[in-house]
Chains A and B, each alone.
Chain A
Amino acid sequence: MPTSPSSPRRLGLGFKLALFILTSTTLIFAAAFAYNYQCSRKLILKNVEESARNLAHDSVQRMETVFAGVGRIPTFLAFTLDESFPDIAELKEFLRDFLHAVPEVFGSTVAFEPYAFDRRARFFAPYSFKDKDGLGFTMLGGDDYDYFLMDWYLIPKELNRPMWSEPYFDEGGGNVLMTTLSVPFHLGEKKTFAGVVTADISLDWLKTLVARISVYNSGYAFLLSKNGVFVAHPEKRYLMRESVFSLAESLASPELREIGRAMVRGKEGFARLPEAFTGKPAWVYYAPVPSTGWSMGIIVPEAELFADLHSLSREIVTIGLAGFAILFAVIAAISIRITRPLRALAQKTTEIAKGNLDVDLPAVRGTDEVCELSRSFQDMRNALKDYIANLTETTKAKERMESELKIAKNIQMSFLPKRFPPFPDIGHFDLHAALVPAREVGGDLYDFFLLDDTHLFLSVGDVSGKGVPAALFMAVTKTLVKGNAEPDTDPADILTRVNAELCVENEQMLFVTMFCAILDFTTGELVFSNAGHNPPVLLRAGGETDFLAVPRGVFLGIMDDSAYRTGRITLAPGDALLVYTDGVTEAMNEAEELYSSARLLELLRAANRADATALTNTVMESVLAYEGDAPQADDITVLAVVYKG
């Protein structure tokens, strides 16, 4: 798969390293930042709540002081009236003195129940008031002004306790915001309600007081009446017109309504205002004004509240970003440092893999893992180089040896007569032989030749061991056998003589089993001797098939004084003799079971015995088929001779 140098695989390690480290760092930083931000925010809110509470309490306290001061005199007058009613002049004087004494009070009356002061007068309410000319005086009440229905009279009467009215603009339309304190007084033993003493108090001082409260740059305070109407607020058009609930309704803000409900119920608290109220996020601290039942709110704009936190946060984020950049640079540098030698190494090893072992590996400096890896590669490269050099040499030697063995085999095989039929002029017998070596050079041998015009010599042998020594031993044996086989010699004599020769200087202690026979093909007489070889199979023309009874004798080459005897039979025309080596009977199949003599006998009983070639082929094919894919353990040699008469 071709890869370009800029493929992501090349970036791999460094890219992953940077991705993982930077992602985790960012997450950790973001989490720490968020936690810090939230905590700081809470802390700031707590502190602001605290200071807003102090500010509200302080302002409320100041209001209460004024309200209490103003209320003291009407309360005292009501208390006096509980005892007895003074005459009208005394009342007027009292009211005048009261107005002189208290600058905030604009008017004051003592309003009586119908006919309570004067049995003839339904309305009786002397009223002193301040106007631009000084003090004025009038009697309240009449068809135009039924004061019994006025809140300042009706409510304290029904509740029978002092009452601060909802604020209102003064009657003169002078735009002076007022509130009226009404204190009920009573008559007689039963303490029945007899009227109220009132004080109309200007709230100009209150406006100033509230307006002076400032929080941060744009924070401010406002005051709500008991009904939730704005009594003081920087926005003039709200005053006495809008209530916190009408604002909530027009802004469609149930949150604001909830804050308003808490305020008019005299609760104290700190809440987040809906943005619509001030046009930006803000918080409000609200506290009741106990004497009047009003409620004060202090608004803190969130932006200013958290201005410091936000600038700090911006700085932290900037530092974080700078750190991020530095970290990125460091990671990039480290990953380049790590991956550059790795990349070089990868390049070199690719070349090594292609077979170029002479490539120069990068120079090794330092002791880190990359250097170790580089060193290991160098060692591996050197070991590979040595191994390959070694292998080349070994292969050469092996090739040489194999070629020599091949030559040896050719030589060995050339020892064996391979021309069939060997004696086409002689019709007395048919002879055929085959040899399949186990390895390149085997230890089996067979031979046949005519001793004279009437005698055929044949032999089959098997040298112990295999390979070149066995082949050489076999060549020697064959030569000795041929040299000792003369007309009129006994096969036993031949074996005795060959044995004696083989025993001389046989240091390797190789030995050979051998069956040899001489056939007088004119008479059918067969003389034979055996040196430890498998008994051949005699196949009579009549179908009788059995092992040939051979005289006992030990293998050639071990004991120089071994004695061999000769056996003899006469072959009838059509009889056949099959001589073989133990490569046939000891051949093994894949299950490591032997071919066995019994199987051979059985095979031959059914075989066509008229033709020597067919006989050898039958046996050879049967054995090879039996072996199947199992490796051939030994040379296999089969020689068949059919006597024709």
Chain B
Amino acid sequence: MPCVRTRLCALLLALIGALVAPCPDILGQDLKKAVLIPQWEPQAQFAGYYVALAKGFYRARGVDMTILRGGPKSPPSRLLADGRATFGTFFLPTAIKLRADGLPLVNICQIVRRSSLLLIARKDSGIREPKDLSGRRVSMWGPEFRLQPETFFRKHGLAIIPKPQGFTVDLFLRGGVNVVSGMLYNEYHTLLNAGLDPDELTVFAMDDYGLSFPEDGIYCLEHTLQTDPGLCRAVAEASLEGWKWAFEHPEQALDVVMSHVNAANLPTNRMHQKWMLARMQDIIAPPGVTAAPGSLSRIEYEAVAEAMREAGLITSIPPYEAFYADLAK
């Protein structure tokens, strides 16, 4: 009998829940407006946020969220600084550098726990192990993205010829450089999608060489956190729920991502986004990691910051307590 009663109670609660759920919608004036700017164009790298928006996870927490279209012309740092965006996503080193340079960024949720940065070369160029990179032309993105490769080169005593890297891997595909930087979830698959087979490529994953820097995290300005920590917590929680749901329903999550991709008329395809979503799962919820979702430990933070200081990217390390807001507390 207690069992039946429990079930009946649960059913009643569910019914009440169903009736009450539309309330936040009805009470539109209670929703807090927020704007998120991802650090790049719509793709599965941000699937969790798009899903959270589409499935109403933000709304359910009282947030009327808008996600802006990212891209090279809309750097989150600028949009946060001039108030066009409330929240933005950054790689951890990028955020540290911005904070050190004076932008008061606060990490409210560390999404990606691992690094998926790779150095990729063609096997037929004779590159099979790190020492083969010596004297080669290596294309790399901006300073934060050079941190890991340069540490890697230093560790192996390699002198390479650095080359700038644009937004595509075409320079590498046309033979302009021997080695290209890339994310496992993006550029690596782009190379496969340009006709290169995995066995034709030599891949140096920074993660494998102990250079695993956490990547994407959600940030806001200190001011936002101080005025409305509830909003920050709601955004962080809804985003994590979005990711969880995306990994549990990859095909539906891809539909959501592709709707944003198509709206932006981007030259990408579902197979590429599928690959990206699968790889995001590898680095967001890696097996064996026990850290709480969204958390950033002092050790993780200081390892990256210290490496940056040593490389001269920053002169002083911003205090951990100021940089990371543990909203779970």
Contact = CB atoms under 8 A, between A and B. Distances in A.
Interface of A: 144-145, 148-151, 154-155, 158-159, 163, 165-166, 168-169, 173, 175, 226-229, 240-246, 249-250, 257, 260-261, 264-265
A337 B174 CA distance: 83
A334 B137 CA distance: 88
Interface residues on B, range: 20 to 34
B267 A163 contact: no
B192 A144 contact: no
A265 B265 contact: no
B69 to A, nearest CB: 12
Q: Is the interface of B mostly helix, strand, loop or mixed?
A: loop
Given A150-B166, A241-B268, A246-B271, A226 B171 contact: no
A561 B38 CA distance: 167
B164 A261 contact: no
A226 B171 CA distance: 12
28 contacts: A145-B73, A149-B165, A150-B167, A151-B168, A155-B170, A155-B171, A158-B137, A158-B171, A159-B174, A163-B174, A165-B170, A166-B168, A166-B170, A168-B267, A175-B265, A226-B173, A227-B170, A227-B173, A241-B266, A241-B267, A241-B269, A245-B192, A245-B193, A245-B194, A245-B195, A246-B269, A246-B270, A261-B197
Task: Specify which of A165, A166, A243, A265 lies most central, judged by the most chain B CB atoms within 10 Å of its CB.
Answer: A243
B2 interface: no
Interface in B226-265: 265
A155 B164 CA distance: 10
Contacts of B192: 245, 249
A288 to B, nearest CB: 14
Contacts of A261: 195, 197
A169 B193 contact: no
Interface of B: 73, 137, 163-168, 170-171, 173-177, 192-195, 197, 265-272
Contacts of A264: 194-195
Contacts of A245: 192-195
Contacts of B193: 227-228, 243, 245-246, 249
Given A151-B168, A173-B265, 12 more contacts: A151-B170, A154-B176, A155-B176, A158-B163, A165-B170, A227-B170, A229-B267, A241-B267, A243-B193, A245-B194, A250-B271, A260-B195
| Cβ-closest 4 pairs across A and B | A158-B176, A227-B194, A149-B166, A246-B271
B194 A158 contact: no
A149 B197 CA distance: 27
Contacts of A265: 195
A242 B195 CA distance: 13
A245 B271 CA distance: 10
B89 to A, nearest CB: 20
A212 B47 CA distance: 40
Contact of A169 (B166, B173, B267, B269): B267
A154 B268 contact: no
Nearest to B193: A245
B235 to A, nearest CB: 28
